[in-house]
């Protein structure tokens, strides 16, 4: 699919030059948002979709930091919610790039809910997303390689490579079944 670059004046990518490798820690960001009544259902539980949007935003910032250019979400792995998030909680998304290929980057997002009164925190879920860096022509562009500085960086990279292989295999399989579902 091709994005029409002229429709997005904000898509101001710097010229594509080979950038030096960057460690994952350079992309690390924290996005904290106070959960308000408009984020929740009638029971006071925050909608899963609201959490997914914040996860996507946090991951996008980490990806753009790493790429040094705009980036778009190309895949989001399945997400399950272990604990409810309540109105009044602070939702904290910590995001970091874990794996890169040519133009794609995997970002891990770790989500916690904090009761700002008691300081109690709960890990609600973790998620993996894949972003693609875009050039000024709105086509995929190369990202800096990851400088793996610690054993944890290397383990995350290997695990990310494995997940990406599985995603691409799934994508290729789904392409073969791309007609809409129907009865019978
Ligand atoms: C992102 C986009 C520009 C990529 O275009 P494309 O023609 O598919 O480009 P390619 O096939 O070269 O894929 C680009 C990269 O994405 C990766 N990729 C593509 N589909 C993927 C998937 N389902 N899962 C994981 N990675 C995927 C490819 O492996 C490739 O990575 P690499 O360059 O590191 O090897 C295009 O798919 C697009 O515009 N998608 C919509 C994005 C969007 O609107 N997101 C929501 C709002 S931000």
Q: Which of 62, 127, 128, 140 is the best mutation target for the ligand 1 pocket, counting ligand atoms within 8 Å of the beta carbon and taking the most?
A: 140
Work out which ligand 1 atom sits closest to the CA atom of 3: 39
Pocket of ligand 1 (CB under 6 A): 1, 3, 72-75, 101-104, 130, 132, 140, 167-168, 171
pLDDT for residue 6: 62
pLDDT band, residue 2 (cuts 50/70/90)? low
Mean pLDDT (whole number) for 3-26: 74
Work out which ligand 1 atom sits closest to the CA atom of 60: 48
Edge to edge, the sheet with strand 121-133 lists 29-34, 90-100, 104-114, 121-133, 71-76
Residues 6 or more apart from 48 whose CB is under 8 A from it? 79, 81
Q: How far is the CA of 133 from the centre of ligand 1 (A)?
A: 9
Give the chain's domains with CATH numbers: 19-175 (3.10.129.10)
- pLDDT of 88 > 60? The answer is yes
Q: Is the dihedral of CA 173, 179, 183, 184 positive or negative?
A: negative
pLDDT digits (tens, 9 = 90+) for 9-18: 555 666 677 8
Q: From the CB of residue 96, how many other CB atoms can be counted at a distance below 10 Å? A: 23
What percentage of the chain reaches a pLDDT higher than 90? 81
pLDDT for residue 48: 95
pLDDT for residue 148: 97
Distance in angstroms (rounded) separating the CA atoms of residues 116 and 18? 43
User: Which residue carries 């970091």 as its tokens?
Assistant: 96
pLDDT band, residue 65 (cuts 50/70/90)? very high
Atom 30, ligand 1: residue with shortest CA distance: 104
SS3 (DSSP) at 86: strand
What six digits make up the tokens of 10? 């904000």
pLDDT for residue 183: 78
pLDDT digits (tens, 9 = 90+) for 134-182: 999 999 999 999 999 999 999 999 999 999 999 999 999 988 776 777 7
pLDDT for residue 86: 96
Q: How far is the CA of 118 from the centre of ligand 1 (A)?
A: 42
């Amino acid at each position: 699919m091709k994005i029409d670059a002229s429709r997005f004046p904000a898509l101001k990518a710097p010229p594509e030059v080979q950038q030096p490798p960057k460690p994952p820690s350079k992309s690390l960001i924290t996005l904290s948002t106070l959960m308000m009544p408009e984020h929740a259902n009638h029971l006071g539980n925050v909608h899963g979709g609201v959490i997914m949007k914040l996860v996507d935003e946090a991951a996008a910032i980490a990806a753009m930091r790493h790429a040094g250019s705009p980036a778009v979400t190309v895949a989001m792995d399945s997400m399950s919610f272990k604990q409810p998030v309540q109105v009044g909680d602070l939702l904290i998304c910590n995001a970091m790039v874990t794996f890169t290929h040519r133009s794609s980057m995997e970002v891990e997002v770790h989500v916690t809910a904090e009761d700002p009164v008691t300081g109690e925190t709960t890990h609600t879920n973790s998620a993996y997303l894949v972003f693609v860096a875009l050039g000024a022509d709105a086509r995929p562009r190369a990202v800096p390689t990851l400088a793996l500085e610690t054993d944890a960086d290397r383990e995350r990279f290997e695990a990310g490579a494995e997940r990406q292989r599985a995603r691409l295999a799934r994508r290729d399989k789904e392409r073969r079944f791309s007609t809409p579902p129907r009865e019978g």
